[in-house]
Amino acid sequence: MRAFAVWLLALALGLFWGLRSASPGLKRVEEGVVYGREGVSLFAQVCSPQGAADRAVILVPGGFGPPTLDMEKRCRLYAEKGVVALVPHLRGRGKSEGKVTGCLEEAEDVALMARLLPQMGIRRHAYAGYSLGACVALKAAALEGRARGVAFVIGPVDFAEQVEILRKTRPDALERWREVFGGLPEECPACYARQSPLPHAARLGAPLLILQAGNDPLIPPTQACRLRDVREEAGRKVYQVALTREGHSWTLPLTKGRACLRPTGFGPLGEDHLVLFPDLHHAVIPAMEALVERFVLAWLR
C-alpha cells in the first residue's frame, strides 16, 4: 500500500508540473501576443489588418539580437495586404525570455505558436524566415505540419561550415558561437549536426521557396543546393532560377559554387523553387521581397 501511495503521489506531482509548464495559449498584450513553453515566456509582435482575417504569415527574424526595423516594416506591409503578420521575438532576444540556442529551442517555440494560431481565428498560415530565422522557420513548419509554405531566405543549413569560414574572416565571432552552440565543431560535432534543418526539410510537406545570394560571405550557394538535393531526394520537384539584383533573368555563366544551380525557369507557385542571385552578398533586396510576397500570398489563398 505504501508503494502504491508513493506512486500516486509521484503521478500527481508529474501532472501538476506538466500542467504548470504547459502553455495556456496566446494572450493578447500591447503590440502582440505572449505565450509560454516549458516555463519560458515568449513574445511575438502582431500586425493586424483592418477587419477580420483568417490568414497569417510568420516572419522569423535572423541573428542573435531582437528583430530589426526591417522586420517591423515587413510586418506592417503584410497587414496592409489583408494578412495577419507575426514577428516572434526568438528566445533570449527582444521581449522573449530564455537562452539563445541557435536553431533548436527556437524552432520548437515557433512551432508551438503556430499550433495556437486558431485561437486568433487563423485558419491558414505560412512562414518567411530570414538568415538564421530561415532555419527556425523550416524546422518549425516541419514540426507542426500545417503550414501552407515556407520561404527560406538566405539561410544556413551547415553551421560547421560557417564556423570554418568565420575562422578565416571573423575569428572574433567564434567565442559567441561557442557560447550559443555549446562549443566549436571539433569540440562538439553533435551540437552542430542537430542544428541543421536538412533532416526536417525531408519531412516538410509544404512547398519551399529557397532564396540564395551567390556571393554570400558566410553561406555559400552550395548550401542552398544541398537543401535542394534533400527536397529532390524526398520526391519534390524543385524549379531553379538565376536572377539579377533587379529581378531579371541572369544570362552570364554561373561559376564556382554558383554552378551547382541547374536553371529550369519558374514553375507553379505550389512547387518548390530555388532562386539564386549570383552577384548578391548576404542581403535582402526588393526583388527578393517581391518573390517572397508573391509566393506567400499564393500559398495563403
Average of per-residue pLDDT values in the chain: 92
The label of the residue with cell 571539433 reads: 186
pLDDT value at 9 more than 80: no
Q: Which of 74, 193, 211, 83 minimizes the C-alpha distance to 151?
A: 211
Confidence of residue 51 (pLDDT cuts 50, 70, 90): confident
| Burial track 132-160 (b if 16+ CB lie within 10 A, e otherwise) | bbbbbbbbbbbbbeebbbbbbbbbbbbbb
Query: How many whole angstroms separate alpha carbon 264 and alpha carbon 281?
Result: 23
* Alpha helix (H) residue ranges in the chain: 2-21, 69-80, 105-115, 132-144, 159-169, 174-181, 189-193, 198-203, 221-233, 286-299
What confidence score (pLDDT) does residue 24 get?
67
4 or 224: whose pLDDT is higher? 224
Query: How many whole angstroms separate alpha carbon 168 and alpha carbon 150?
Result: 32
Strand partners, 55: 124
Is the separation of the CB atoms in 230 and 259 below 8 Å? no
pLDDT value at 27 more than 80: yes
Is the separation of the CB atoms in 78 and 57 below 8 Å? yes
Q: Which tens digits make up the pLDDT trace of 132-166?
A: 999 999 999 999 999 999 999 999 999 999 999 99
